[in-house]
């Protein structure tokens, strides 16, 4: 049994716990809060379900003790820097760190890589939603006069998105003033954005999300090869599950001496699945 | 530059040649017919574009010389047996053989594995078509009274398919007799099948194909996670391109000393793409 611990117990941590309990080859090695002392952790793999900006610190501390980690670090522009920081620590201490293992970055990254292998020239568009954008929601909440907010991402195709921003106003705040401030914010200024006042943001709460990823490309010299990947999912449940599947890959890679920090496109898909090679090849190939 | 040769020069061999020529990091190391003497081949990787039943023989001979091979062996029930036969030859002679590297088996297998990692419980259906089934076309052509035939696979969902069989009758053949023989054939007896007499099968010829692969599954304990992968493609062009991308992976695996016979779910997706890790992670993850 692979011993998997959870660090951080928000939406993702809870979902990860459920995915560990549902895995035939894993046991839960404890749930830790992100201000606990990490020395108490005894596990083969630790799932870092902390805020994304705390991932590097925790991964480095655990890797230094030879413990594998998995995170769903989601700042696209900083993934290479995270990988570069963790790689030498992992190699020196015989650990594996699987980074950015959610659905985007994560499983969508695998689909994008696969479609590039199938049709090397062409355009891929990743269309997100409908679903809540955490980053835009936090940005809207930070605007003066906003008591609570929810920013929904609506896909318009070709990677263009509409932002539907539902807000609860603070007592005495002026809607027009707040709306203007949201529309001027850098998070919203570049997209079609609609601001709507509601009585209760909580009443709209829904962790559903979706992706429509399309590629029209060229295989060899043959054009118009068309591919599409769609999903509609519970966001934390999928993220937690993907982290757990990546934990299995980390454990196996460590067992083979393949130390280092890796993104999901650097994993063998079979390593994420329980069972032996013969079973999996017969069932899936 | 990776030296890639093509063995067999039918539809797939021609498409593979185009994909090699379009690859920035490859050069064509020759095209060989399947009755040529294999001793003349000088290449890092040989693409086996021969009939599927000849794959094992050629792969074994080349692996024994330490030359990597890629095939698109497509008899699902015999893939494990092919892998088992080639694995020891590859390991003993420091070669890599990537088997069943088309789109199904092949890239669809990767999608199926990925969806299992995302939602371990649930049902996946692979729906094929519309497109020509080679196996069913050959079976229809073998029926007495059939001069030429084309069997189209039409997806009806949940993995159920309709067979549309277009036939040119031989001089003096009776349509009703031929139709009854086709419907009774084991290839057609289990599916909804329609037989249609046409003046020219050649006039219907089209290498387009498609896939609709769906999974509704459970992540952790969260149900109704829905996924769908669709493609409409030129069949030989995609097969040739996937083989060429797999050839790149074979070359890199050999370079790292990872010898053996592997299916596509056992490859790192990044190994199929030209460019270095930093470029690819930044562009795709």
Residue A101 shares a structural domain with residue A154: no
**What is the distance, to the nearest Å, from the Cα of residue B180 to the centroid of all Cα atoms in its chain?**
31
Does residue A85 sit within a domain? Answer: yes
Tell me whether residues A118 and B242 touch, CB distance under 8 A.
yes
Element (H, E) at B205: none
The answer to whether B62 contacts chain A (CB < 8 Å) is: no
Per-residue confidence (pLDDT) for residue A242, from 0 to 100: 98
Residue A154 shares a structural domain with residue A75: no
Residue A37 predicted with pLDDT over 90 = no
Does residue B25 sit within a domain? Answer: yes
Tell me whether residues B266 and A273 touch, CB distance under 8 A.
no
| Contacts with A265 from chain B: Cβ below 8 Å | 268-270, 280-281, 284-285
pLDDT in tens, A175-224: 999 999 999 999 999 999 999 999 999 999 999 999 999 999 999 999 99
Residue B169 predicted with pLDDT over 90 = yes
Tell me if residue A61 falls in helix, strand or coil: helix
Does residue B31 sit within a domain? Answer: yes
- End position of a domain, from candidates A219, A244, A268: A219
Does residue B284 sit within a domain? Answer: no
Residue A66 predicted with pLDDT over 90 = yes
Tell me if residue B174 falls in helix, strand or coil: coil
Range of the domain at B255: 2-105+236-277
Residue A18 shares a structural domain with residue A85: yes
Tell me whether residues B220 and A230 touch, CB distance under 8 A.
no
Region A271-284: what's the mean pLDDT? 98
Angle between helices A277-284 and B107-118 (to 10 degrees): 110
With beta carbons less than 8 A apart as the criterion, state whether B281 and A73 touch. Answer: no
User: A residues 101-120 near B, CB within 8 Å?
Assistant: 103, 105, 107, 109-114, 116-120
The mean pLDDT value of chain B amounts to 97
Query: Which CATH number goes with the domain that contains B27?
Result: 3.40.50.720
Size of interface A-B (CB pairs under 8 A): 229
With beta carbons less than 8 A apart as the criterion, state whether B198 and B204 touch. Answer: yes
Residue A44 shares a structural domain with residue A132: no
Does residue B249 sit within a domain? Answer: yes
Residue A22 shares a structural domain with residue A98: yes
With beta carbons less than 8 A apart as the criterion, state whether A93 and A65 touch. Answer: yes
Residue B31 shares a structural domain with residue B96: yes
For the record, the structure tokens of B39 come out as 């001793």
> Nearest-CA distance from B270 to chain A in Å?
5
Per-residue confidence (pLDDT) for residue A245, from 0 to 100: 99
With beta carbons less than 8 A apart as the criterion, state whether B115 and B148 touch. Answer: no
Tell me whether residues B284 and A231 touch, CB distance under 8 A.
no
Comparing alpha-carbon positions, the chain A residue that sits nearest to B279 is A80
- End position of a domain, from candidates A194, A219, A244: A219
Residue B188 shares a structural domain with residue B271: no
Region A47-54: what's the mean pLDDT? 94
The mean pLDDT value of chain A amounts to 97
Residue B33 shares a structural domain with residue B65: yes
Comparing alpha-carbon positions, the chain B residue that sits nearest to A12 is B220
Tell me whether residues A264 and B245 touch, CB distance under 8 A.
no
Residue A74 shares a structural domain with residue A41: yes
Per-residue confidence (pLDDT) for residue B35, from 0 to 100: 83
In this structure, chain B runs to a length of 285
Does residue A257 sit within a domain? Answer: yes
**Phi-psi group of B278: left, alpha or beta (phi > 0 → left; psi -120 to 50 → alpha; rest → beta):** alpha
Q: How many domains does chain A have?
A: 2
Q: How far apart are CA B77 and CA B52, in angstroms?
A: 13
**What is the distance, to the nearest Å, from the Cα of residue A225 to the centroid of all Cα atoms in its chain?**
28
Element (H, E) at B97: strand B96-98
Per-residue confidence (pLDDT) for residue B201, from 0 to 100: 97
Cα distances (Å, whole numbers) of residue B127 to A185, B9, B155, B261: 46, 29, 5, 28
A237 → closest Cβ in B17, B100, B222: B222
Tell me whether residues B22 and A221 touch, CB distance under 8 A.
yes
With beta carbons less than 8 A apart as the criterion, state whether B154 and B138 touch. Answer: no
Residue B7 shares a structural domain with residue B95: yes
The answer to whether A235 contacts chain B (CB < 8 Å) is: no
Residue that the structure tokens 């807000």 belong to: A167
Tell me whether residues B226 and A241 touch, CB distance under 8 A.
no
Does residue B225 sit within a domain? Answer: no
Does residue A256 sit within a domain? Answer: yes
Region B268-277: what's the mean pLDDT? 98
With beta carbons less than 8 A apart as the criterion, state whether B200 and B168 touch. Answer: yes
Cα distances (Å, whole numbers) of residue B30 to B3, B6, B25, B195, B246: 9, 6, 16, 42, 18
Residue A136 shares a structural domain with residue A210: yes
Identify the DSSP state of B257. Answer: T
B225 → closest Cβ in A121, A234, A280: A234
Is the ipTM of this structure higher than 0.95?
yes
Query: Which CATH number goes with the domain that contains B137?
Result: 3.30.360.10
Per-residue confidence (pLDDT) for residue A34, from 0 to 100: 81
Region A13-41: what's the mean pLDDT? 95
- End position of a domain, from candidates A170, A194, A219: A219
pTM exceeds cut of 0.95 = yes
Residue B126 shares a structural domain with residue B194: yes
């Amino acid at each position: 049994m692979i011993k998997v611990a959870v660090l951080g117990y928000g939406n993702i941590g809870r979902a990860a716990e459920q995915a560990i309990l549902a895995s035939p080859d894993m046991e839960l090695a404890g749930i830790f809060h992100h201000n606990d002392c990490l020395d108490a952790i005894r596990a083969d793999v630790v799932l870092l379900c902390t805020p994304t900006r705390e991932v590097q610190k925790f991964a480095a501390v655990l890797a230094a003790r030879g413990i594998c980690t998995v995170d769903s670090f989601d700042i696209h522009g900083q993934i290479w820097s995270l990988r570069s920081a963790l790689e030498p620590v992992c190699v020196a201490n015989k650990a594996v760190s699987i980074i950015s293992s959610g659905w985007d970055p994560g499983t969508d990254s695998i689909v994008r890589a696969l479609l590039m292998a199938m049709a090397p020239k062409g355009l891929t568009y990743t269309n997100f939603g409908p679903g809540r954008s955490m980053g835009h929601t936090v940005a809207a909440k930070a605007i003066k006069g906003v008591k609570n907010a929810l920013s929904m991402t609506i896909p318009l195709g070709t990677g263009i998105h509409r932002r539907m921003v539902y807000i609860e106003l603070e007592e005495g705040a002026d809607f027009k003033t707040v709306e203007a401030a949201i529309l001027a914010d850098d998070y919203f200024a570049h997209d079609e954005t609609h601001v709507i006042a509601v009585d209760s943001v909580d009443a709209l709460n829904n962790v559903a999300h979706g992706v429509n990823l399309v590629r029209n490309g060229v295989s060899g010299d043959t054009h118009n090869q068309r591919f599409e990947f769609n999903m509609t999912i519970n966001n934390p449940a999928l993220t937690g599950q993907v982290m757990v599947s990546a934990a299995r890959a980390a454990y196996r890679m460590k067992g083979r001496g393949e130390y280092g920090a890796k993104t999901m496109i650097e994993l063998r898909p079979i390593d994420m699945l329980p069972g032996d090679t013969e079973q999996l090849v017969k069932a899936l190939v």
